[in-house]
A and B are shown apart, each in its own frame.
Chain A
Amino acid sequence: MSADAAPGPVLDAGLADFIQHHVSMNAAARDRDNRPTVARAYGCRVAPDRRELTLLFPAGHCPALLACLAETGTLAVVFSRPSTHVTIQLKGRCTGSAPASAADRAVVDAYRISFIEELASLGYPPGFARAMVPPADTEWVAVGFAPETLYDQTPGPHAGRRMERRE
């Protein structure tokens, strides 16, 4: 990787689209004693330059994750589409967290519809699919994330391989 020019974003347009709907999202962080934690996210927004994401977590589900991020700032997020098993992992830095805005809640609402649709297409009962996503009146936290590296984690021989930028 050349250091003279700012590298392009880790995500290409296709992947930026992939991670925003129909996928399962789970984030991992670790504390200063290198103890990991994990939390499921329910919505992801990609900035127009694809250099920063906003992930949405229910406030009640992620105190451990937020504490880790406050201590170390490192973050890894895996996105997987249940129907195809296509899976990628992004690793990078947390750029901050804040209560979700109205725009963020709209992201969660759109995600909810797509994820329920995905689970229903796999034969999960509608009641279960709806129960997988917290209700709209949940208190949400928006976490900023600047991804730096990208890994292919689709099960198979290439699982775990680092993917290069696809400009």
Chain B
Amino acid sequence: MSLTLDAIRGCLEGVIPAVIATSAPGGEPNVAYLSQVHYVDGGHVALSFQFFSKTRENILANPRAVVQVVDPDTAAHYRLTLHYLRTETAGPLFEHMKAKLAGIASHTGMGKVFRLLGADIYRVESIEAVGGGQPSCAQPVRSRLPSLRTCSRELAACTDLDGLLEALLAGLEREFEIRHAMVLMADPVRGRLYTVASRGYPASGIGSEIPLGAGIIGVAARERTPIRIMYPAGPYTYSRALRETLLQQEPEADFETEIPFPGLPAPQSQLAVPILLGGAVLGVLYVESGRERRFSYEDEDALATLADHLALALRLLQETTEEPAAPGPAAPAGADRRGQAVVIRHYPANHSVFIDADYLIKGVAGAIFWRLLTHFTGEHRTEFSNRELRLDPAIGLPDISDNLEARLVLLQKRLREHCDFLRIEKTGRGRFRLRVDRPIRLEESG
């Protein structure tokens, strides 16, 4: 059986620099180092184009090239005979390579020099095992399939969104030993992603937001492509990227209502996988590690598969018809009416809600919360259905992919973390109760 590109994907991680041989039309050979040979699919690779070089001049005139790659575990060498097809200067492949190159550049101490001008796409015509290397160097790699199978089965057993997200993050930790992970959902109207679940951080960061296009998560969502970075990559790290992007996009950004992003301050490896369904980005699954080269092609395969599974589960849970409300017990709401009322303030401009002076939430989740509170104080209502919220013009959910459940999970978690007298409690499929354990007074501002 001839050697396939899939069988040598490990050589395409940029760990050991590759070399490329080309030849000018006049017959003068040229040999140069390459930063990146990127796996596109079973029949194609993309090479990083960073400088206008002799290599580049040659392949535009004579599209034949041979690249030699080295297995970073065994040191075995392989020669790939390639045929240049085209160059991409934007889009998912380009952005993935650009992010990966940022990691390779910092790994090799060449951060200032490495800038991606294009992704040169080549057809792989043949692969030859050159020889060399010692198999004994390689660490035995555990198959990801049994882990994937276990996680998939657990996701399929979930009946609500909160449980689904927790099952995913718990599964990643137990089955894949991925200890730092989060799920962000997309708010297409505001062009933001907001954190709905996280695991492995001192503060959950639930509700923290990332602009589309910012850092590895924002780029993965915008370009709808997984992005995997093997080394520390400054421009894609959130401590830096987030603040810079926010200041750029919204110079007057209100940092008072910015919940800090929970991520590691200096991740050594990162992997962001978009959660896609029917061409739309529902969110991003993001994992990171304090270890270099932590996530492999196989991890990317497994997480991309789980993200697909998650997308379907999210849609199914959203479409599940709401059950009629079980006749619940007498509303415990407002059980304790004594004591001074807590002031809850709403700013309609961005639907931010403050409890006393403490910021709780904003955006669609803020609008939902305010709606529930006004029903509670006006009509003493405590029982609500997802359906009525979806149809409520005062909340203004976008018609398509409204992610109502995700917003309720976000609201529920923010309350659990930041307020001890307000709760959202599920009472059935598509139904919930607002529990208010202290007197409250609502104030509208602005």
Q: Which residues of A contact B (CB under 8 A)?
A: 24, 26-30, 34-40, 58, 60-61, 64, 72, 74-78, 80, 85, 87, 89, 91, 125, 127-128, 130-132, 134, 151, 153, 155-156, 159-160
Beta-carbon contacts of B41-79 to A below 8 Å, as 1s and 0s?
Answer: 000000000110110000000101111101011110101
Is B261 positioned at the interface, with any CB of A under 8 Å from its CB?
no
Instruction: Give the contact stretch, choosing among B133-141, B174-182, B208-216, B297-305.
Output: B133-141
Is B163 positioned at the interface, with any CB of A under 8 Å from its CB?
no
Q: CA of A119 to CA of B308 in the docked complex: distance in angstroms?
A: 41
Given that A125-B137, A131-B132, A131-B137 are known contacts, is A89 also in contact with B32, CB under 8 Å in the complex?
yes
User: Which chain A residues border B54 with CB–CB below 8 Å?
Assistant: 151, 160
B23 touches A131 (CB 8 A): no
A74 touches B134 (CB 8 A): no
User: Which chain B residues border A76 with CB–CB below 8 Å?
Assistant: 21, 28-31
Q: Which of B28, B31, B79 has a CB less than 8 Å from the CB of A78?
A: B31
Q: CA of A35 to CA of B113 in the docked complex: distance in angstroms?
A: 30
Q: CA of A33 to CA of B65 in the docked complex: distance in angstroms?
A: 13
User: Which chain A residues border B329 with CB–CB below 8 Å?
Assistant: none
Q: CA of A38 to CA of B67 in the docked complex: distance in angstroms?
A: 7
**Can you name the residue of chain B whose Cβ is closest to the Cβ of A82?**
B17
Q: CA of A89 to CA of B66 in the docked complex: distance in angstroms?
A: 17
A159 touches B27 (CB 8 A): no
**Can you name the residue of chain B whose Cβ is closest to the Cβ of A42?**
B132
Question: Could you list 30 examples of A-B contacts with CB < 8 Å?
Answer: A26-B19, A28-B30, A29-B29, A30-B21, A30-B29, A34-B25, A35-B23, A36-B21, A36-B23, A36-B65, A37-B79, A38-B31, A38-B66, A38-B79, A39-B130, A40-B77, A61-B131, A74-B29, A76-B28, A76-B31, A89-B30, A125-B137, A128-B72, A131-B74, A131-B132, A151-B54, A155-B114, A159-B51, A160-B51, A160-B53
User: Which chain B residues border A75 with CB–CB below 8 Å?
Assistant: 29
A36 touches B64 (CB 8 A): yes
Is B22 positioned at the interface, with any CB of A under 8 Å from its CB?
yes
B73 touches A128 (CB 8 A): yes
B131 touches A131 (CB 8 A): no
User: Which chain A residues border B321 with CB–CB below 8 Å?
Assistant: none
Q: CA of A153 to CA of B67 in the docked complex: distance in angstroms?
A: 17
Is B108 positioned at the interface, with any CB of A under 8 Å from its CB?
yes
User: How many residue pairs at the A-B interface have CB separations less than 8 Å?
Assistant: 121
Which residues in window 14-40 of B have CB below 8 A to A?
17, 19-23, 25, 27-33
**Can you name the residue of chain B whose Cβ is closest to the Cβ of A78?**
B31
Q: Which of A38, A72, A127, A130 has a CB less than 8 Å from the CB of B19?
A: A38
Shortest distance in angstroms between A130's beta carbon and chain B's nearest beta carbon?
8
B62 touches A34 (CB 8 A): yes
B29 touches A131 (CB 8 A): no
A156 touches B33 (CB 8 A): no
A36 touches B66 (CB 8 A): yes
Shortest distance in angstroms between B127's beta carbon and chain A's nearest beta carbon?
13
Shortest distance in angstroms between A153's beta carbon and chain B's nearest beta carbon?
6
User: Which chain A residues border B30 with CB–CB below 8 Å?
Assistant: 28, 36, 76, 89, 91
**Can you name the residue of chain A whose Cβ is closest to the Cβ of B26?**
A34
User: Which chain A residues border B27 with CB–CB below 8 Å?
Assistant: 30, 34, 72, 74
**Can you name the residue of chain B whose Cβ is closest to the Cβ of A155?**
B113
A74 touches B28 (CB 8 A): yes
Given that A38-B21, A159-B53 are known contacts, is A27 also in contact with B132, CB under 8 Å in the complex?
no
User: Which chain A residues border B134 with CB–CB below 8 Å?
Assistant: 127, 130-131
Q: CA of A159 to CA of B25 in the docked complex: distance in angstroms?
A: 21
Q: CA of A26 to CA of B21 in the docked complex: distance in angstroms?
A: 9
Inter-chain pairs besides A61-B77, A131-B132, 18 sampled, C-beta below 8 Å: A28-B30, A28-B31, A28-B66, A30-B21, A34-B25, A36-B21, A37-B21, A38-B68, A39-B130, A61-B130, A74-B29, A76-B30, A85-B108, A131-B133, A155-B50, A155-B114, A159-B51, A160-B53
Q: CA of A26 to CA of B79 in the docked complex: distance in angstroms?
A: 12
Shortest distance in angstroms between B64's beta carbon and chain A's nearest beta carbon?
5
Is B3 positioned at the interface, with any CB of A under 8 Å from its CB?
no
Shortest distance in angstroms between B209's beta carbon and chain A's nearest beta carbon?
37
User: Which chain B residues border A127 with CB–CB below 8 Å?
Assistant: 134, 136-137
Given that A76-B31, A78-B33, A155-B113 are known contacts, is A60 also in contact with B131, CB under 8 Å in the complex?
yes
